[in-house]
């Protein structure tokens, strides 16, 4: 069974999702796979078997959207104010599930890379599906784009999908950016 067929089965068997959400997620995964065929979908498939959709609590400060790694839950603010692109928000969740280690996503293996990781996730989601809405990370994406020229776009990409922030830190140290 190929990876997309396995994902379709996992989504179909997930009792936490309705058909509309299953179809939307699968549609976005097809786009993901077409544009980034070299990225393994194994971890994503495992996460999709049990992922839930929920709401961010009224008093929680997690933003408009948050992927809870530990609960494997995609959370949306109950009070979304502004114009947000749901495809973009779901694509960020897909990227985070695809790179989840059960304790962090992407290259966020080092807390110093947290903002960079969030912005890079946003950049990848924008590349994959665009963003017809608001973004909470405009400045962070600008800095991330600049840093990608210093550390190398391939280093950023490979670090993100192999969950290893060390090459980024090393490249910045070598460029005397002085992260330490």
Per-residue pLDDT in tens (0 to 9) along the chain, 180 residues: 589 999 999 999 999 999 999 999 999 999 999 999 999 999 999 999 999 999 987 777 667 889 999 999 999 887 666 688 889 999 999 999 999 998 999 998 888 899 999 999 999 999 999 988 777 788 888 899 999 999 999 999 999 999 999 999 999 888 875 555
**52 phi and psi angles, rounded to 5 deg:** -120, 160
Burial class (CB in 10 A: 0-12, 13-18, 19+), 4: middle
Helix (H) or strand (E) holding 57: none
Calpha distance 29→36 (Å, rounded)? 10
**Do β-strands 52-56 and 73-77 pair in parallel, antiparallel, or remain unpaired?**
parallel
Calpha distance 107→144 (Å, rounded)? 13
User: Is residue 87 within 8 Å of residue 66, measured between CB atoms?
Assistant: no
Measured over the CA atoms of residue 35, residue 49, residue 83 and residue 144, the dihedral's sign is negative
pTM for this prediction: 0.90
């Amino acid at each position: 069974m190929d990876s997309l067929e396995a994902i379709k089965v996992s989504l179909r068997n997930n009792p936490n999702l309705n058909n509309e959400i299953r179809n939307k997620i699968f549609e976005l995964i097809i786009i993901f796979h077409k544009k980034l065929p070299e990225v393994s979908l194994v971890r994503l498939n495992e996460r999709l078997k049990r992922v839930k959709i929920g709401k961010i609590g009224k008093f929680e400060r997690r933003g408009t959207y948050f992927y809870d790694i530990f609960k494997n839950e995609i959370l949306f603010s109950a009070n979304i104010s502004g114009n947000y692109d749901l495809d973009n928000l779901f694509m960020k969740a897909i990227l985070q599930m695809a790179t989840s280690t059960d304790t962090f996503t992407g290259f966020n293996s080092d807390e110093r890379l947290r903002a960079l990781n969030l912005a890079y996730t946003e950049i990848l989601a924008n590349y994959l599906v665009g963003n017809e809405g608001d973004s909470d990370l405009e400045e962070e994406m600008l800095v991330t784009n600049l840093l990608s020229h210093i550390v190398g776009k391939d280093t950023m990409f490979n670090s993100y999908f192999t969950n290893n922030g060390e090459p980024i830190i090393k490249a910045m140290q070598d460029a005397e950016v002085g992260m330490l």
